[in-house]
Amino acid sequence: MHRHEHPRAETEARSQAALERALTLAFWDALERGPLPPMAALEAAARTVGTLYRQIATLHGPSPRCGCGWNPEPDEDLIRLEAMLAAALVERPRSMLEDLPVQGRA
């Protein structure tokens, strides 16, 4: 691993966590504002992710307007997104250190 890859991975992880928090807050806010069944809200979220993918893929297509180097592969990307959704559905909550009971003194 190169010297700059570790900080880049940490920055990406922080950015992903911030985006996940923002999306989660927006989702719960939408549910609290009006009569919207949870599945309808989830369907809207899925459509939005699909729309975002299409928009971003267009910017990175045959004549990329972004220099990041990403090349959309719709079939592979869909499989990856489906896998992330499936993993989140079956993922068990991980214990956080702060949630564990104190077991003595250090």
- Residues in CB range of 69: below 8 A, 6 or more apart: none
pLDDT recorded at residue 91: 76
pLDDT in the model for residue 11: 93
pLDDT at 97: 65
pLDDT score for 1: 52
Q: What is the pLDDT of residues 90-104, one digit of tens each?
A: 977 666 666 666 766
Q: Which parts of the chain have pLDDT scores under 50?
A: none
Question: Is 94 in contact with 83 (CB distance < 8 Å)?
Answer: no
Q: Give me the residue label for tokens 């990856």.
A: 80
Closest alpha carbon to 46 in 82, 83, 20, 80: 82
